[in-house]
Amino acid sequence: MPLDSAAAQCLGMRIRPLPRSLSSSRLRVGEALARGVTANRLNASDLDTSVWGVRGPRHDATIHTKCALIAARLDDRGVFSHSTAALLFGVSTTLALDAASELHVSVTAPARAPHARGLHGHSLAFENDEFATIGGLRATSPERTWCDLAAQLDLLNLIAAGDVFINRRLPLTTLARIEACLRRHPYLKNVAVAREALALLDGGAESRPESFLRVILNRGGLPRPRINHSLVNTESGTVLRPDFEFTEYRTLLEYQGDHHRTKEQWRKDMTRRSRLEAAGWTVIEINADDLRDANELVERIALTLRRHGWRGRTQPVFARIEW
């Protein structure tokens, strides 16, 4: 009785290499069987078996490789969409969606949504300019991808993803193109959330926590800060870029991510804060734990702003952070 691949490895047996003509990133099972490759070999531990009918190298588990396996089974009508397309564009959504095993594929309605193991299919209305090619793979365009993410993400994460899509340093699309896409599709799932998020997008944000914090400040009724604005010391010429600047109230918010834990970064942050405070600024440092209680954070910031003359009122923030 032949050993399966796992048992063979346990006994120190070497897995037989595939025929050279079949050694590729995308191997069709039917073709391999026709060329004499056994079913046991096609289920060996060195191959990715997550997609029915196709095999690929297990060690190369990037999103692009996974999509390439699915693409080998799709006809030309299917395109990668939703969170899968976002990952292909390099845009993270949430930890759960980024790690999900299912890939999202859409076809143009009225075609039936595709169904297969490892695949989540959609049948949607598309315009001709709502497609893109990423590394040889067909996907929805950046603006259409963001609009479709409204079906998967809450408001905060949809805004964070949108900030990446329109980031002023490396923009994938523009606010105007996203707005036009939403106008074309008034019946998209959760389109009301998308419209609310659209009004709060900002290409100046440089991280997801910054996006979360900006929305919390907005919904909490606090003044609108300047984001990542360069402050120049006129005497020394030193340039500092605080995360959030309430200019009128001489108050700065600095988000401290985990990368600030290194000794070198900690020392730089101390010097940076000392310089800002010497120049007359009040600095409030914020970390991920602070974002878990948005209402308490808003009130804490408001107390500081009021000491500097702000007379506004806060309002409850209904926000739960899903990383």
Contacts of 309 (CB under 8 A, 6+ apart): 248, 249
Position 315 scores a pLDDT of 95
Confidence of residue 46 (pLDDT cuts 50, 70, 90): confident
Evaluate whether 58 touches 47 at the Cβ level (below 8 Å). yes
- The closest alpha carbon to 162, from 215, 240, 109, 113, belongs to 215
Q: Is 240 exposed, middle or buried (0-12, 13-18, 19+ CB in 10 A)?
A: middle
- The predicted-structure confidence for 224-277, as pLDDT tens digits, reads as follows 998 876 665 545 545 677 889 999 999 999 998 775 567 888 888 888 888 888
Long-range Cβ contact pairs of 208-211 (< 8 A, separation 24 or more): 208/92, 208/157, 208/160, 208/323, 209/255, 209/257, 209/288, 209/291, 210/163, 210/243, 210/244, 210/255, 211/156, 211/159, 211/160, 211/163
pLDDT averaged over every residue in the chain: 85
Position 31 scores a pLDDT of 73
Position 1 scores a pLDDT of 35
- The closest alpha carbon to 180, from 223, 130, 215, belongs to 130
Q: Residue 175 above 70 pLDDT?
A: yes
Mean pLDDT of 166-184: 96
Q: Residue 35 above 80 pLDDT?
A: no
Cis upstream peptide for 110 (omega within 30°)? yes
Evaluate whether 102 touches 80 at the Cβ level (below 8 Å). no
Identify the structural domains of the chain with CATH numbers, from first to last.
67-198 (no CATH), 208-307 (3.40.960.10)
What is the DSSP code (8-state) at residue 116?
B
Percent of the chain at pLDDT > 90 equals 53
Tally: H helices and E strands in the chain: 13, 14
Position 21 scores a pLDDT of 60
Q: Residue 171 above 90 pLDDT?
A: yes
Mean pLDDT of 307-323: 87
Mean pLDDT of 159-172: 95
Sheet holding 251-255, edge to edge: 226-227, 244-246, 251-255, 282-286
Q: Buried b / exposed e across 200-219, counting CB within 10 Å, b at 16+?
A: bbbbebbebbbbbbbbbbbb
Position 11 scores a pLDDT of 38
- The closest alpha carbon to 205, from 241, 231, 152, 248, belongs to 241
Comparing 114 with 172, which gets the higher pLDDT? 172
Compute and round to an integer the Cα radius of gyration of the chain.
25
Position 78 scores a pLDDT of 92
- The predicted-structure confidence for 82-131, as pLDDT tens digits, reads as follows 999 999 999 999 999 998 889 999 999 999 998 877 889 999 999 999 99
- The predicted-structure confidence for 272-306, as pLDDT tens digits, reads as follows 888 888 889 999 999 999 998 999 999 999 999 99
Comparing 247 with 46, which gets the higher pLDDT? 247
Comparing 138 with 62, which gets the higher pLDDT? 138
Q: Is 219 helix (H, G, I), strand (E, B) or coil?
A: helix
Quick one: tokens of 299? 């009130």
Mean pLDDT of 159-180: 96
Greatest mean pLDDT among 9-13, 170-174, 202-206, 227-231:
170-174
Q: Residue 195 above 70 pLDDT?
A: yes
pTM above 0.85, yes or no: no
Q: Residue 196 above 60 pLDDT?
A: yes
- The closest alpha carbon to 288, from 257, 253, 320, 319, belongs to 257
Position 40 scores a pLDDT of 82
Comparing 146 with 263, which gets the higher pLDDT? 146
Mean pLDDT of 301-322: 91
User: Mean pLDDT lowest for which of 54-58, 62-66, 299-303?
Assistant: 54-58
Position 55 scores a pLDDT of 74
Position 7 scores a pLDDT of 41
